[in-house]
Structure 1
Amino acid sequence: MAFEPPRRLVRALGETAPDGDDWLERLPGLEREAVQSYALTVERVQVPGGRSSLVVLVRTADGTPAVLKLAPPRARPGSERAALAHWGGRGAVQLLEPETPEGVLLLERLHPDVSVRSLPEARALLEAAGTLRRLWVEPPDSYPFETVAERTGRQAEAMRAGADADAEVAPLARAALTAREELLAAPPEPRLLHGTFRQSKVLAGDRVPWLAVGPDPVVGDPAFDLARLVRDRVEDLIASPSGPAVTRRRVKRLAESLEVDQERLRGWTLFRAAESGLRALRVGRPRDAELLLEFATWL
């Protein structure tokens, strides 16, 4: 099947591609090889798709609807496979093939065009939070996952560099970095986390109503996972004159519903919003940066 990778994927990977990376150029060949290896019939490429992988809707040899996912090494597809195997379909999409080549995942088909974002906001938050709760399990004894400290340590280095170069954002960056240090000083019992959870990562399924997809798993404080959900629909929050008050109520409501310490949730929400805003500045997305950094000031 001849195809062009979705523009969203090309743009997002272009922002993070290391020098000499040729994964996008090799992608059509990788897709053909996977389709042939598993005797798949291709229906279509999911558009706009994700920012870190190609998602292809396929059918297996016996006609079962499935998803073929192809991801570059920097998206850590091996970690995703390990997390999905550990969850075993509880709260997350199931693996159809436990052993696949690096960067290739064959998954159960959900309803790719129906996420909890299609629900009214209050119901969407409720359903998303319920899905997230099911994912917070003890990690396996030996696991290939990053810890929250490791992942945010890399991010903190880039934030410090950005703050040094831009005096306007320096106070917010320092506040976020201080919050991280305090949160890591006394962490709760670690859990396996989705890592990049938000409403659009929760899709309608057949065996249960909602299932999570696309984890970038990490081990650590559940409040870190929940923090990304706090800022969902950030455009609507920024546009609302009551945005700051709504955000504070959301922090309180989500913390109480998932039995997470409210101050830990507020701190990780601050760090993750500031980190995302500064990263958006670095890669030339000023509009996204403006929204995220304004949101971070509310915390």
Structure 2
Amino acid sequence: HIKDWLKALDKDWNIPNHYLQIARQLRDQLLKTAALDVLLHGDLHHDNILLNGDNWLVIDPKGVIGEPAYQVAAFIRNPIPELMHHADATTIIHNRITRFAAALELPSQRILDWCFVQAVLSWVWAIEDGWDTTSYFEHLTKVFD
């Protein structure tokens, strides 16, 4: 379940504390108000969606349970780090949120909140993996804040 992944936010990390606090509060509120748990890919983004002839093929599933609004955040914040180098990154991100909200009939604020939580969670995972991506995730988190 995504709850298991999100427990990583409860540790102390070299991330500005206010981002961690917001991510924790949003996580708790989003999990408490989730209406439907389904099987999710868990890492649905540009590099994991391939054109195979006339069909699309989704690869590298993580297979996690959670609400559908959680699923789209990885797509919205990718590709890393190229997206944040784009002059219109904020506009691109907000357009993606609007389009996913309309297509999936989900509240755009809920998608935005999951995007923030996942941005901080991805920052945590980058720290765990020893990646020097602080500036990328700090910029990304500001876009969602």
Q: In which range does the TM-score fall when normalised by the shorter chain?
A: 0.7 to 0.9
Task: Name the residue aligned to 1:193.
Answer: 40
C-alpha distance in 2, partners of 1:276/1:189?
Answer: 23
Give TM-score scaled by structure 1 length: 0.45
C-alpha distance in 1, partners of 2:102/2:86?
Answer: 24
Greater fraction of residues in strand: 1
The answer to whether the aligner puts 1:148 opposite 2:25 as a matched pair is: no
The answer to whether the aligner puts 1:177 opposite 2:31 as a matched pair is: no
Task: Give the C-alpha shift of residue 280 in structure 1.
Answer: 1.6
Would you say the 8 A contact 1:148–1:218 is kept in 2?
yes
Would you say the 8 A contact 2:120–2:137 is kept in 1?
yes
The answer to whether the aligner puts 1:272 opposite 2:118 as a matched pair is: yes
Task: Give the C-alpha shift of residue 274 in structure 1.
Answer: 1.0
SS in 2 for 1:298: helix
Would you say the 8 A contact 1:276–1:289 is kept in 2?
no
SS in 2 for 1:210: strand
The answer to whether the aligner puts 1:254 opposite 2:100 as a matched pair is: yes
Greater fraction of residues in helix: 2
Task: Give the C-alpha shift of residue 212 in structure 1.
Answer: 0.8
Among candidates 68, 74, 85, match of residue 222 of structure 1: 68
Equivalent runs, 1:273-292 vs 2, <5 Å: 273-286=119-132, 288-292=133-137
Would you say the 8 A contact 1:189–1:221 is kept in 2?
yes
C-alpha distance in 2, partners of 1:161/1:271?
Answer: 15
C-alpha distance in 2, partners of 1:264/1:204?
Answer: 29
C-alpha distance in 2, partners of 1:192/1:281?
Answer: 27
Higher relative CO (Cα under 8 Å, sequence separation at least 6) belongs to 2
Among candidates 236, 240, 246, match of residue 82 of structure 2: 236
**RMSD of the alignment, in Å?**
1.8
SS in 1 for 2:42: coil
Task: Name the residue aligned to 1:296.
Answer: 141
Code of the residue aligned with 2:6 in structure 1: it is: T
Give the % identical residues: 21
Residues 252 and 171 of structure 1: CA distance in aligned 2, closer, same or farther (over 3 Å):
same
Task: Give the C-alpha shift of residue 199 in structure 1.
Answer: 1.2
Task: Give the C-alpha shift of residue 244 in structure 1.
Answer: 1.7
SS in 1 for 2:81: helix
C-alpha distance in 1, partners of 2:52/2:87?
Answer: 36
Structure 1: unaligned runs, 5 residues or longer: 1-146
Structure 2: unaligned runs, 5 residues or longer: none
Task: Give the C-alpha shift of residue 152 in structure 1.
Answer: 1.6
